[in-house]
Amino acid sequence: MAIVCDIHQGEAPRRLPLLRASTPDRVLAWRDGEPVSAAQFLSHVHAVAARLPIAAAAVNLCEDRYAFLVAFCAIMLRGQANLLPPSRAPHAVDEVMANHPGCYALGEQALDPAPRGYLQLPPLGRASPKSDLTWPQIPDDQVVAIGYTSGSTGRPSANAKTWRSFHASNAGNLAMLHATVGRAFAVVATVPPQHMYGMEMSVILPLLGDVSIDAGRAFFPADVAAALASLPPPRVLVTTPVHLRALVESGIVLPPLAAMVSATAPLSIELAQAAEQRFAAPLMELFGSTESCVFASRRTALAEEWSLYPGATLHSQLLGTIVEAPQLDAPVTLADIVCLSPCTRHFSLRGRHADLLEIAGKRGSLGDLTRRLLAIPGVEDGVVFQLDEADTLGVHRIAALVVAPGLDEHVILDELRRRIETLFLPRPLRLVEALPRNETGKLPKAALMELLHRHD
């Protein structure tokens, strides 16, 4: 069965604008509470582009979101692709650069040690817009970014994005936000721009929509509140379940929000309802991946089912789901297992194929086991995962890492026995001070295995 939206996709134009057609004085970004116009931004972009070396690609390591935006567009203007490692850790950067011989890296900070061929951006001070400034057009088939998956289910993989695909995915995101918020709004994002969700919602959105973005990297609750207070309403908070939980539990008061957006990990109904009640704004959860970009959304506090974006099609398969969407040149297969609603544009998520378990004829899922672990009083964070190597009987054992100050392993296992089949009890289960979450709150499999071995 498939869900199809009857939207005819015409032929893409040969060139597409770098910036949404707008007036030169449109506010594109906010830096320390000061507005940056589209014309000032383009002056910075042209100045940086003129300094870039000849190459096919560059690793964009900018931490300041405005610097990232400038570097992203400057790299595009030179006909190069932005390389987006799964993290800014030196080993992750080195692996990506090894896959792209002849590339270089750039950022706004002085790094020591620095990647090979590292170029530090000049200070991006106040720019005086030039009267003869041209508004660039980019070939629609140009690969402008290559994003790497987080490695939460294995080795990070590369996914190329053309400028046409970003235009198409942004149309869906913008339509969803316009329906929720209205036309123009300002965004504070807690997710890094190198992540595809951060790319869509804090880089592409201000370039191609009536949207302005805060340049900072708000992380702690107080930082988020200060960043929101520095922007004019209506305000949208783009965040993750990990950051959202920290905001709710902190008790901090945020400036009035028009909406919140969450992605990167499943959002529980309980957390969604608590966030909406605490901050008096609708919370939209996005469904997508590095491979597909966003293609569906839901208001989690009110609905279990997801709503497809216009033009999206799903085909349910035994081992996952095939996705067709306007931003995809070819169908993409995801490991997510969905239940399609007949004759509608909605679906329910039933888990991921990689999460499914079958031991001695009993079936379960890692996601469900993790949810039951987190429901134990005193457990602050935790994850259940399956080991790669099989035991002498050919069974892949289940393990768990748990953050639970004040509890011991035996108490947690006893609680789990009351909640799950004995066959699915995680052994080993280890108490740790913190889980190795990356910048978006995800848990790379390699980091979990390393932490588990340290506690054996």
Give the span between the Cα atoms of 258 and 366, in whole angstroms.
Answer: 35
- Residue 391: pLDDT band (50, 70, 90) is low
Give the span between the Cα atoms of 447 and 128, in whole angstroms.
Answer: 46
- Residues with Cβ within 8 Å of 356's Cβ and at least 6 positions away in sequence, in order, are 337, 363, 364, 365
For residue 205, the model assigns a pLDDT of 96
- Residue 369: pLDDT band (50, 70, 90) is confident
**Positions of E strands within 157-282:** 158-162, 185-189, 211-214, 235-239, 259-262
For residue 8, the model assigns a pLDDT of 40
Kindly give the pairing relationship between strand 211-214 and strand 185-189.
parallel
Whether CATH 3.40.50.12780 fits 2-351: yes
Q: In CATH, what is the architecture of 360-454?
A: 2-Layer Sandwich (3.30)
User: Which pLDDT tens digit goes with each residue over 97-129?
Assistant: 999 999 999 999 998 888 988 999 988 887 676
Stretch 52-76: mean pLDDT = 95
For residue 1, the model assigns a pLDDT of 38
Residue 443 clears pLDDT 50, i.e. is over it: yes
DSSP string, 429-451: EEE-SS----TTS---HHHHHHH
- Residue 213: pLDDT band (50, 70, 90) is very high
Residue 358 clears pLDDT 70, i.e. is over it: no
For residue 6, the model assigns a pLDDT of 38
Give the span between the Cα atoms of 346 and 305, in whole angstroms.
Answer: 6
Q: Which of 17-26, 53-62, 112-121 has the lowest mean pLDDT?
A: 17-26
Q: Is the Cα dihedral 257, 259, 67, 139 positive or negative? A: negative
Instruction: Identify the residue whose tokens are 């959002």.
Output: 267
Residue 64 clears pLDDT 70, i.e. is over it: yes
Stretch 438-451: mean pLDDT = 84
Q: What is the DSSP letter of 218?
A: -
For residue 125, the model assigns a pLDDT of 81
Share of the chain above pLDDT 90, in %: 57
- Residue 362: pLDDT band (50, 70, 90) is low
**Domain segments of the chain: what residues?**
2-351, 360-454
Supply the pTM of this predicted model: 0.82
Listed residue (452, 322, 321, 314) closest to 383, CA to CA? 452
Residue 12 clears pLDDT 60, i.e. is over it: no
| Mean pLDDT rounded to a whole number for the chain | 87
Q: Is 357 helix (H, G, I), strand (E, B) or coil?
A: strand
For residue 438, the model assigns a pLDDT of 79
Listed residue (227, 161, 217) closest to 193, CA to CA? 217
Stretch 190-194: mean pLDDT = 91
Q: Evaluate whether 314 touches 305 at the Cβ level (below 8 Å).
A: no
Neighbours of 362 (CB within 10 A): 11
Q: Evaluate whether 314 touches 347 at the Cβ level (below 8 Å).
A: yes
User: Which pLDDT tens digit goes with each residue over 138-158?
Assistant: 999 999 999 987 655 556 788
Q: What are phi and psi of 391, to 5 degrees?
A: -80, -170
Per the structure block, which two tokens stand in for 47?
């100045």
